[in-house]
């Protein structure tokens, strides 16, 4: 079944190529297609394109299809092109002509726009929750290890004193900014395209504000051409936000791989979280973090893939946009898997608590000793030269006392302030409004 079928058979080779992976990927969109159809049907009844009895029948059957999807029993049948066709086919089988009326005032174009936005909103909610959990694990590790010092590096050279508390909470605060960026992408996603039809509106007197409210959207894409132009733009914007989260996790993974190596020995994982070598019995490899790094670097490429697929398209719909699903939709699950495994590993991670007692790190205290001289009245440049001269002469012995007090330093991590920032960012996502809208739609039958 094809919604555009006019009785002319399509060559099987062409059909298989044009359908592509839609039938597989559309399963992820199925429940959102049903929710959109319920909202659309309720709106059609208010403009006399459905009777109250027809609306009641459609709504009850759509809720039943939703339950089938929730149980995992929904399938797109052989010969059926996509999820939109499958849902309409199921309605028509049960309700006859009433099922055929559901498509009035919409196109597959605004159906898939809507489904993708509802899917993306849902995936962003999962991602915010997962990032929040990872944030809490990093913050807990920072609090538990804030007193243990480690060397900080510039140019991969020992530089200044740092701490494990400073290191863990740096990545926690990075996640706060990642969720700020994701929030901007969420707000672009959270606009209703339904009613734009094929990109030029409809002669039916559609009530687009009604479907906007029913589906829990913050607003709508008012201009119907822009609503269609939003396909690709929404995916690219969200992909940039996903890549920001991925970049934070990838950098952390790189640090862990480096810090676990024998030449560093800053952190360790239990043997059961590492892998070995087929010929070297001593090996304990951080494969998890190497794979996380690669997955996250792959995710960082997605915005550029989408850009290359869409940057030479004029306004209006083109089939090129179909392929966006293949690179965009799986990215959420891939990133969520990385966040989950990193959080699990962080829980098991231990730190080397006596690092700076090793003389190889004694020069890490040189800036501390320069600053002590400055506090005694020595001009900074003279103090710098004095300590530098003792280092060059091989007579330098560090004081090893550290007193950092300013905001964000290793002696004042500002963990409470960072936590408050994260709490405020998460609270500004209006997920509950969306949940209530969906609950109401599913109860009205």
Q: What is the CATH number of the domain that holds 77?
A: 1.10.275.10
Q: Residue 182 is part of a domain; what is its CATH number? A: 1.20.200.10
Residue 2 falls inside a structural domain: no
Of 113, 30, 112, 119, give the one whose Cα is nearest residue 75.
30
Looking at the fold, whether 248 and 225 belong to one and the same domain comes out as yes
| Angstrom distance (rounded) from CA 290 to CA 342 | 11
Residue 370 falls inside a structural domain: no
Looking at the fold, whether 429 and 287 belong to one and the same domain comes out as yes
Looking at the fold, whether 75 and 183 belong to one and the same domain comes out as no
Give the pairing type, strands 219-220 and 267-268. Answer: unpaired
DSSP string for residues in 97-127: HHHHGGGTT--HHHHHHHHHHHHHHHHHHHH
Domain boundary among 103, 133, 151: 103
Looking at the fold, whether 164 and 286 belong to one and the same domain comes out as yes
Looking at the fold, whether 242 and 328 belong to one and the same domain comes out as yes
Domain boundary among 57, 84, 103: 103
Residue 181 falls inside a structural domain: yes
Q: For residue 316, what are the domain limits?
A: 108-357+414-443
Looking at the fold, whether 150 and 69 belong to one and the same domain comes out as no
Looking at the fold, whether 142 and 186 belong to one and the same domain comes out as yes
Kindly give the interhelix angle for 366-375 and 380-393, rounded to the nearest 10 degrees: 140
Looking at the fold, whether 124 and 20 belong to one and the same domain comes out as no
Predicted confidence at residue 4, as pLDDT, reads: 42
| Angstrom distance (rounded) from CA 360 to CA 364 | 9
Residue 57 falls inside a structural domain: yes
Residue 44 falls inside a structural domain: yes
- Dihedral pair phi/psi, residue 122, rounded to 5°: -65, -40
Residue 376 falls inside a structural domain: no
The conformation of residue 394, written as its DSSP 8-state character, comes to T
Domain boundary among 103, 137, 168: 103
Looking at the fold, whether 65 and 192 belong to one and the same domain comes out as no
Predicted confidence at residue 10, as pLDDT, reads: 61
**Average pLDDT by stretches of 10, the chain with 445 residues:** 54 61 84 97 97 97 96 91 92 96 94 96 98 98 96 93 96 98 97 95 96 97 94 96 98 96 91 71 81 96 94 82 91 97 96 92 93 95 96 92 91 96 95 95 84
Looking at the fold, whether 265 and 116 belong to one and the same domain comes out as yes
pTM as predicted: 0.92
Looking at the fold, whether 94 and 131 belong to one and the same domain comes out as no
Residue 439 falls inside a structural domain: yes
| Angstrom distance (rounded) from CA 347 to CA 133 | 12
Domain count, the chain: 2
Residue 407 falls inside a structural domain: no
Looking at the fold, whether 117 and 198 belong to one and the same domain comes out as yes
Give the containing element (helix H, strand E) for 209. helix 208-214
């Amino acid at each position: 079944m094809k919604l555009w079928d006019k009785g002319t058979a399509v060559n099987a080779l062409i059909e298989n190529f044009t359908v592509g992976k839609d039938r597989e990927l559309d399963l992820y969109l199925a429940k959102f297609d049903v929710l959109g159809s319920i909202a659309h049907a309720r709106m059609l009844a208010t403009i006399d394109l459905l009777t109250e009895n027809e609306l009641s029948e459609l709504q009850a059957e759509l809720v039943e299809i939703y339950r089938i999807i929730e149980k995992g029993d929904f399938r797109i049948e052989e010969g059926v092109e996509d999820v939109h066709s499958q849902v309409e086919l199921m309605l028509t089988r049960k309700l006859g002509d009433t099922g055929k009326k559901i498509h009035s005032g919409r196109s597959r174009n605004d159906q898939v726009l809507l489904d993708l936005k509802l899917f993306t909103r849902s995936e962003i909610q999962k991602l915010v929750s997962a990032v929040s959990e990872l944030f809490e694990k990093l913050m807990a590790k920072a609090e538990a290890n804030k007193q243990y010092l480690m060397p900080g590096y510039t140019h991969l050279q020992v530089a200044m004193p740092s701490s494990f508390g400073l290191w863990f909470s740096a990545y926690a605060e990075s996640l706060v900014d990642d969720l700020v960026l994701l929030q901007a992408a969420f707000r672009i996603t959270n606009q209703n395209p339904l009613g734009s039809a094929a990109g030029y509106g409809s002669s039916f007197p559609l009530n687009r504000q009604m479907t906007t409210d029913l589906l829990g959207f913050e607003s709508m894409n008012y201009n119907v051409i822009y609503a269609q132009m939003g396909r690709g733009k929404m995916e690219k914007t969200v992909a940039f936000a996903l890549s920001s989260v991925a970049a934070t996790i990838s950098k952390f993974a790189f640090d862990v791989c480096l810090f676990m190596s024998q030449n560093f020995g800053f952190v360790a994982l239990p043997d059961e979280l590492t892998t070995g070598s087929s010929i070297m019995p001593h090996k304990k490899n951080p494969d998890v973090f190497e794979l996380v790094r690669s997955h996250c670097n792959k995710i960082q490429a997605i915005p550029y893939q989408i850009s290359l697929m869409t940057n030479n398209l004029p306004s209006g719909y083109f089939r090129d946009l179909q392929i966006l699903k293949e690179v965009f939709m799986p990215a959420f699950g891939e990133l969520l898997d990385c966040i989950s495994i990193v959080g699990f590993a962080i829980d098991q991670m231990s730190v080397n608590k006596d690092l700076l007692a090793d003389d190889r790190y004694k020069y890490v205290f040189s800036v501390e000793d320069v600053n002590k001289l400055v506090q005694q009245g020595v001009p900074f440049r003279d103090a710098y030269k004095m300590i530098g001269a003792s280092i060059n002469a091989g007579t330098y012995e560090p004081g090893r006392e550290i007193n950092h007090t300013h905001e964000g330093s290793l002696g004042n991590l500002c963990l409470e302030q960072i936590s408050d920032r994260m709490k405020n960012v998460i609270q500004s996502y209006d997920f509950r409004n969306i949940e209530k809208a969906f609950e109401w739609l599913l109860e009205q039958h």
